[in-house]
Chain A
Amino acid sequence: AQTVTQSQPEMSVQEAETVTLSCTYDTSESDYYLFWYKQPPSRQMILVIRQEAYKQQNATENRFSVNFQKAAKSFSLKISDSQLGDAAMYFCAYRSAWDNYGQNFVFGPGTRLSVLP
């Protein structure tokens, strides 16, 4: 079974600075998808960014980018120009390309990010 690890339970960043959240995963599969979700205090789970494992190019969404290292099974999230609204719990998630029904959507334990003014 796949596992997702986020080794940083909590992190903080100064407003306007850059922060990187770590995620590693364990899988024997070669085809899969990786996601970062943001959960603000409202509890709503919001998709931040998605990466297809077969793509070598790292995904980017505005201030959010990933560093995907397939051989190392690492998928870190970089937030540039941090804003107060970025304060949230961030979850890394893995989904197998063979996961036809979504039953193997695996989430990490989360990293709580604080943004300091």
Chain B
Amino acid sequence: NAGVTQTPKFQVLKTGQSMTLQCAQDMNHNSMYWYRQDPGMGLRLIYYSASEGTTDKGEVPNGYNVSRLNKREFSLRLESAAPSQTSVYFCASILGTVNTEAFFGQGTRLTVV
């Protein structure tokens, strides 16, 4: 059981370049999320998808776009990368019922130079 698979694990971008982070889950979860992790700030929600076909902004959405391709896949796109987007990015999924925890991918360390 793979759980949440996130690619790539590492990426270096130049300022202004674009890239897409891919995420897929095989647990038949309804809801999926993208977080960024910065030192001393915990995890902050970028975007989420409550169910297939819907997406909504989280706490820090500026500079990002997302696509919920199907129930399994939820991608995060940086259209024009900035140094402020240097961070560790996590994809997560939740079954949907309120008493369940989030399951996380292994994270992507992104450096924008």
Contacts and interface: CB of A to CB of B under 8 A. Distances in A.
Interface in B37-54: 40-45, 48, 50-51
The CB with the most chain B CB atoms within 10 A, among A4, A43, A91, A100, is that of A43
Contact of B43 (A47, A97, A100, A107): A107
A47 B41 contact: no
B50 A101 contact: yes
Nearest to A99: B98
Contacts of B98: 33, 95-100
Give the contact-size bracket for chain B: 20 to 34
B88 to A, nearest CB: 7
Given A43-B88, A44-B104, A91 B56 contact: no
A35 B43 contact: no
A83 to B, nearest CB: 22
A31 to B, nearest CB: 9
Contact of B48 (A91, A98, A101, A110): A101
A97 B41 CA distance: 23
Contacts of B41: 109
A11 interface: no
Interface of B: 31, 33, 35, 40-45, 48, 50-51, 56, 58, 88, 90, 92, 94, 96, 98-99, 101-102, 104, 106-107, 109
